[in-house]
Amino acid sequence: MTSIFQRYADDEAQDLHVQMPQRFLPTTISHYPIEVLLAHWEKYLVEQSIAQERYPWAARFVMGMPVPKWARGVEWNLGQRARFITAVWSGADLGSYLTNDWCEPAAAGRAWAENSEILIDGQQRLHSLEEYFLDRLAVPDAQRQPRVWSELGNGERKRFLSTIFTQARVSSGDEAALRKTYDLCAQGIVPRSFEQRAVR
């Protein structure tokens, strides 16, 4: 291994010997405001029974999206959820959430095949939004007073809902590939210890 950076190797034959991991599934990226997520969730709240019929295999729903049984549960604590909502207010980069666009009718009835339209990654962040919109989560305002969603005026609500939260999408009925993609999303995500934080 050389200590001097080279953009490309001098020897083209090296390309034949080493191959790095390949993408499991092609991904499409869209930049939507949180308001788009909210509209999807509001529709779900009105039609919960329809969602239950369509996705009977779902472990749960988060912001109206079915979550597969093989995904981890809702695990963020109150502090983690509040920090995410504060990050939205502060204009921080929210990362992205990942869904599967693929949908296929099941063999019988009104149900869709398993893994149709699932939320693959972003469950903790989307659940935090859900809890905030339901007034189950308070975050500090500019004067450090805890506030829930229903206490906010429309100007502040519009500002929050206009925040961009990127959606990444794949489209596959291959559960093995979806599971591998799910596992890759979690690699390297380790909470920082107090000593590792930039602000203490």
Residue 149's nearest CA partner among 130, 172, 126, 125 is 130
82, 91, 125, 145: CA torsion to nearest 10: 20
| pLDDT attached to residue 108 | 72
Query: What pLDDT is attached to residue 4?
Result: 83
Task: Look at residue 196 in the predicted model and tell me its pLDDT.
Answer: 43
Q: Which residues of the chain have pLDDT under 70?
A: 1-2, 12-16, 186-200
For residue 45, what are the CA distances in angstroms to 38, 48, 80, 124?
10, 6, 25, 19
Q: What does the pLDDT look like over 66-84, one tens digit per residue? A: 999 999 999 999 999 999 9
Name the token pair of 26: 């092609």
Q: 91 with 119: CB under 8 angstroms?
A: no
Q: Write b or e for each residue in 47-84: b if 16 or more Cβ atoms lie within 10 A of its Cβ, otherwise e.
A: eeeebeebbeebeebbbbbbbbeebeebebeeeebbeb
